[in-house]
Amino acid sequence: MNIARFKTAPFLGISSLAVGFLAFAGQAQKFEWKGKVLTEGGVRVVLNPAEPVYGQIKLDLEEELRIGKEGDDKTQFYRVRDVGADSRGNIHVLDTRNFRIQVFDPTGKYLRTIGRQGQGPGEFEMPSLLRIGGEAENIYVLDRFRSVSLFDAQGIYLRSVTIDGTTTFFEPAAGAGFFALLHTGSDEELTSFNALCLVNGEGKTQKILAQFPYTIHMERREGGTLAVSTGFELALHFARLDNTSLVYGYSKTYELVVIDSDGRKLLVIRKEGPPPEFTAVEKREFGRLSVPEFKPYFFGLLTDPDGRIYVHRNTSTKIKRGYGPIATEDKQVDVFSREGQFLFQTALPPNTRVIRGDLIYTYYVDEEKGLEYVQRFRIKNYAGLPKN
């Protein structure tokens, strides 16, 4: 699908109209955004209808590169958990059970290994998340859900930071700190929360930017507390938009909030639509656990360099014996502009981790061959995707 150039009308009063033109087989089709813009507490709030301006757009994906080969020590991965890419196109693979980061150039040529198993500086025990951040494009690796090891772009170990709390997700902040999703609560009271926090360079929480209940199933057992994840927990998700702003959302409602690095609200994005309901198959998967009252509106957030926000709507992750959680089907996503308009819906490859311009970086598990691959796709129609 080729997208012709389009224009967006300015916001007028409490409502606005976006007018676009989409080309189909040589014919121009006119589109109108039918949402509204309000102001609440001095913050702009964009109210979107249930249907996107440009409907469904299929990404024209071309697989350019695949890394992973049986018997090759450098590319036979054992539980890939994350993939990153720097501005030069170098690919960083978090090879969790091999306790290392494997780095490849844009052609797939092996460059270096970062880290190894151990408890010393620059060594890993349970690495789970990889990030590349800052002008120097340093490499950050989350280990044991509490420690972040920092390396320079060449893989030289710089330092480690122990975060004051348990986290599963973080993004480097300006300077030496982090934005981290901390998990808090009480085993005694059977409570659990997600808190989006600004953490300083020493790992201490400086500010709580947002906090919501995390609805994981908890019950008392002899000797402790049992926590069981169903994959349908209401949870807080966030993604970095640029070096100075983030977007977050709590999946109980369809609302996204854009904030600056100090936590000030810049924009609120809402979308109309009925609450999602559990299917019969999903209900059966709960077994003896009671089905929650609410199904999450979404399961994750991604962004691209043009400021578009991708809201992941389906539960594409399943537990595979011997592999743990892996994505088994495409990510169905709603795509919003940087200004908050609901632009279109599309699908991303199952384990998409990074969208860098017209390139998607992902990985998948070939269960029949027992191999894991890292892939790079080019979005051939990226330049024509709507931005507003």
Q: What is the DSSP string of 277-300?
A: ---HHHHHHTTTSPPPS---S-SE
Give how far Cα 100 sits from Cα of 86, 126, 146, 172, 354, Å.
17, 10, 17, 20, 19
Q: pTM (2 decimals)? A: 0.90
Domain holding 127, by residue range, is 64-374
Q: Is 93 helix (H, G, I), strand (E, B) or coil?
A: strand
Q: How many CA atoms lie within 13 A of 265 on its CB side?
A: 15
At 176, the pLDDT band (50, 70, 90 cuts) reads confident
What integer best gives the mean pLDDT of the chain?
Answer: 89
pLDDT digits 0-9 by tens, 287-333: 888 889 999 999 999 999 999 999 999 987 776 666 666 777 899 99
Q: Tokens representing 312?
A: 């992941």
Has residue 124 been placed in a domain? yes
Has residue 7 been placed in a domain? no
Has residue 14 been placed in a domain? no
Q: Does the pLDDT of residue 388 top 70, yes or no? A: yes
β-bridge partners, 337: none
Once rounded to an integer, what is the mean pLDDT over residues 362-374?
88
Q: Tokens representing 310?
A: 């991708």
At 13, the pLDDT band (50, 70, 90 cuts) reads very low
Rounded distance, CA 194 to CA 170, Å? 12
Has residue 103 been placed in a domain? yes
Confidence (pLDDT) at 62: 98
Q: Report percent pLDDT > 90 for the chain.
A: 73
Confidence (pLDDT) at 98: 97
First to last CA, the chain: 17
Confidence (pLDDT) at 367: 78
Q: Is 375 helix (H, G, I), strand (E, B) or coil?
A: strand
Q: Does the pLDDT of residue 20 top 60, yes or no? A: no
Confidence (pLDDT) at 366: 85
Confidence (pLDDT) at 17: 36
Confidence (pLDDT) at 52: 97
Once rounded to an integer, what is the mean pLDDT over residues 100-105?
98
Once rounded to an integer, what is the mean pLDDT over residues 44-52?
97
CA-nearest of 296, 291, 218, 227 to 255 is 296
At 11, the pLDDT band (50, 70, 90 cuts) reads very low
CA-nearest of 172, 169, 145, 140 to 157 is 140
Q: Is 136 helix (H, G, I), strand (E, B) or coil?
A: coil
At 2, the pLDDT band (50, 70, 90 cuts) reads very low
Q: Does the pLDDT of residue 28 top 60, yes or no? A: no
162 neighbors 147 (Cβ within 8 angstroms): yes
Cβ atoms within 10 Å, residue 222:
5
Residues 6+ apart with CB under 8 A from 267: 43, 44, 45, 46, 257, 258, 339, 340
Confidence (pLDDT) at 288: 84
At 144, the pLDDT band (50, 70, 90 cuts) reads very high
Higher pLDDT, 284 or 251: 251
Q: Does the pLDDT of residue 387 top 50, yes or no? A: yes
CA dihedral 264→385→313→350, nearest 10 degrees, is -120
Once rounded to an integer, what is the mean pLDDT over residues 227-236?
91
Has residue 75 been placed in a domain? yes
CATH at residue 75: 2.120.10.30
Confidence (pLDDT) at 210: 96
Q: What is the DSSP string of 176-232?
A: T-EEEEEEEEETTTTEEEEEEEEE-TTS-EEEEEEEEE---EEEEETTEEEEE--S-
At 230, the pLDDT band (50, 70, 90 cuts) reads confident
38 neighbors 341 (Cβ within 8 angstroms): no
CA-nearest of 79, 202, 105, 111 to 150 is 202
Confidence (pLDDT) at 262: 87
Higher pLDDT, 210 or 6: 210
At 22, the pLDDT band (50, 70, 90 cuts) reads low
Has residue 17 been placed in a domain? no
Q: What is the largest CA-CA distance in the chain?
A: 69
Confidence (pLDDT) at 226: 87
In total, how many domains does the chain have?
A: 1
Residue 90: DSSP 8-state: -
Q: Does the pLDDT of residue 7 top 70, yes or no? A: no
pLDDT digits 0-9 by tens, 233-258: 999 999 999 888 999 999 999 999 99
- Computed on alpha carbons and rounded to an integer, the radius of gyration of the chain in Å comes to 21
Has residue 268 been placed in a domain? yes
User: Residues in the chain, how many?
Assistant: 388
Q: How many CA atoms lie within 13 A of 301 on its CB side?
A: 27
Has residue 305 been placed in a domain? yes
